[in-house]
Amino acid sequence: MRLTEIRLAGFGGQGVILSAIVLGKAASIYQGAFATMTQSFGPEARGGACSAQLIVSESQTLYPYVSQPDILVVMSQEAYSKFAPELKDGGMLIVEQDLVHLENINAEVKVYSVPATRLAEDLGKRMVLNIVMVGFFTAVTELLEPDAVRKAVADSVPERFRELNLKAFEKGYEYGIQALSAGPLAGEAEPQMAFSEE
């Protein structure tokens, strides 16, 4: 695993920080790599801007802050507008399909989109959209071992919500496998991926 800088961003209440914790735990505890995470919040705990910076690597990381993310995950339009310009040339952009309108994307950026909120609602709990996103991230980036992330999900949520969150992970992961097979979206295109009600 090469050193990879990741930024996850959205608004408070979407579980952005937990997503980063799960991915960092998967890398460092269940995959034997190294991870550092920092986080920031807007003035409001819920509804304000929220982001997390995660660095994963095979070796120890000396500087814990993301300068130019290799992977950017955005779950709100505000997060997209603020952080998309920082994405490294040739990097990967992962967006919440229904909440982010794409514009002015560098043609070299690989774009993947997922209707994480709708997929979570399909499971009966909108609150697990972040774990749907974690599953999708795991599939399209191929950065972390799926079993390591599954273990991290199970270990990071209350026991009574474990089964639901593992289902959310699988939902996002399966959607991500399909997206990976279809290939990234064109940078200027609106997300057009099919959404199955099944």
In a domain? residue 192? no
CA angle 33, 142, 112 (to 5 degrees): 130
pTM value > 0.95? no
In a domain? residue 38? yes
Strand partners, 53: 7, 38
What average pLDDT score do residues 165-187 get? Answer: 92
CATH number assigned to the domain comprising residue 91: 3.40.920.10
pLDDT tens digits, one per residue of 107-164: 889 999 999 999 999 999 999 999 999 999 999 999 999 999 999 999 999 999 999 9
In a domain? residue 193? no
Torsion of CA 85, 76, 154, 122, to 10 degrees: -140
Query: Number of helices (H) and strands (E), helices first, in the chain?
Result: 6, 6
Dist CA 119 CA 117 (whole Å): 5
Q: Considering its fold, how many domains does the chain have in total?
A: 1
Domain that holds residue 32: 4-182
In a domain? residue 122? yes
